Structure 1
């Protein structure tokens, strides 16, 4: 039998009725002889309610006190789920992050896990208990409650699975797996049977919201098999693991199409082409803590250069103000901005052994009349910037071009 860590998000435990359903599912795994550790989020909407309460008192609450406040949401669901399991005749114990001693750094509201004391968990599991742990939280070396940031319960679950050397970490959510693209955009989007950590990281960073990026990074670092499953529907879900196909030629070229609407473009025109100009442009942007994504530089015959980069839309106004000041200092001709863009990416480890992915992508977009504004690549990803109004058309064209409508083979969950 297996040791399984299961995580249930806020919608999965959003009411007493749903907590009862989760208890039925967990009890079923116990009946099959599995050792179970359950990580739960706060009930849906609860964290936002607590934040609103705090902001009614202080415009900018002290981070330490915010962590004390918002960590209570998860503690409610741990206790209720333990009670529901006990009602079903299953021994269960609930713990908050400090009781398990999930040791973190002291960066309140965005702490990172340093280590986990798994002795108590192993003792409870050996005694036949289901262990229910509050996600999203830990404790620093001074005993202060800390939280891991939005989506931190995923990270808690993966970290516990790594510490306990669990056979699998199961993330239960409101979708039944990872899809080739957003089913709301492409009717023919298919659930993937499996995907690698690398592919999932790229998909998550490009806009797929199924898993928190930090959780995928953690799972990849410690080789924790992850499975995404629907909370209230049966099915094998999607397995995320280190393994690729044994024969690279059998690996699908593309795993999925990801996209992100939260993109804006800034361009500085007519900058003198000289050593260090890129730093003079991006240095102040970085110092302002504005994250830059895609970068393109074009050199003209008159020994000047046009420099373009993308930022999130929420940072556009601030970035444009900084860039205008830089333009004045450098003697540039003009600064332009555009918030009507989007990024679309094809992702797949199969790119390593299959040539022609870029040309196929560009041809598919050209066939439907979509112009590419910027291009960036990695070993397993090609991303392009296009006009936002063409985004859904582009996703459908690429999904079809790369043959992602084929049904995946299914694999049984642990």
Structure 2
């Protein structure tokens, strides 16, 4: 959520930032509403002062036995209260309109975010590994998984509909192995693991920016609750409404959860295989940091996602999202993209974002640092995939496939697979 004071004091910069994000920003409307709000507040304060003075006068008149004058003063207070109620109602109406603007507007990109119109202008930062050259006709992961009887798309569709998949045998074990490997790696490198609920309140979804903008992509359940689209929602909101101590920052959190997305706006995209599912498993990373440290924490979070891919020996590249492709809550984002032979391209497998104080304002998460300032300030929140099991599985199947149709298990996963070195079709 945008800071109204920042918007008020930096209207030209905000207008330019929104233009860079391809977001329809009405600067004149904001300025007009902000001026109406300040006038309404001034009117309220003036009427409150007038009422207070009249109320004091009533006491004096009553004490002096001047009942008629006191009754007249009471009538004056009644009339002032009516005017005050009108002024307050006007201010509340303007407040609501301003709040809708601030809540519905995306984050302001930081200076490190490149300016660009869309994903075609995302600059590449670095690459790791070399895509494999096959000396046989390689297959996409959806054919490999079907042939090995570890991915069953037909039964997934029968049970739940399109974009649901059943994993069987070594496929189910590989999913579990990836989740455990990711969590073991993160927790051994400083992250605290959580096991949160996956059904959350509307306010929880609002806190991280999923609502109201992305409600069409969310799964509603009973009442006004939702299934989470990512563990970012629950991990970030663990501290909603709290004041943290600067000495405890940064905080590094991780969690595995199933994730649920309607994918309402992705018709026709990545419909084959397990790249874009309505339900998928993901290990998430979330950090809480001071404003001075959050940029460094973004770099280390991205390096954490890269470390997993390096250990799995999967080629990848890192790109910076430009302003036209930046997510709603982010001020800066690195996408880590893994090589998928079936696409002959790199596909996103992790998105690591610094949200600044945008989410913290919505969820009211602050910190105190008595040695450096009075009162409290909003923390900076960060999040990143670390990693999604499904997309990682697809990358492993395609990059580690053998000429006979089997899949070599990456060395770091062999212990998690009970010593299995190759996934082969069951006899």
Normalised by the length of structure 1, the TM-score is 0.21
Indicate the structure with greater strand content: 1
Larger Rg: 2
Instruction: Flag the structure with more relative contact order, 1 or 2, with Cα contacts below 8 A and sequence separation at least 6.
Output: 2
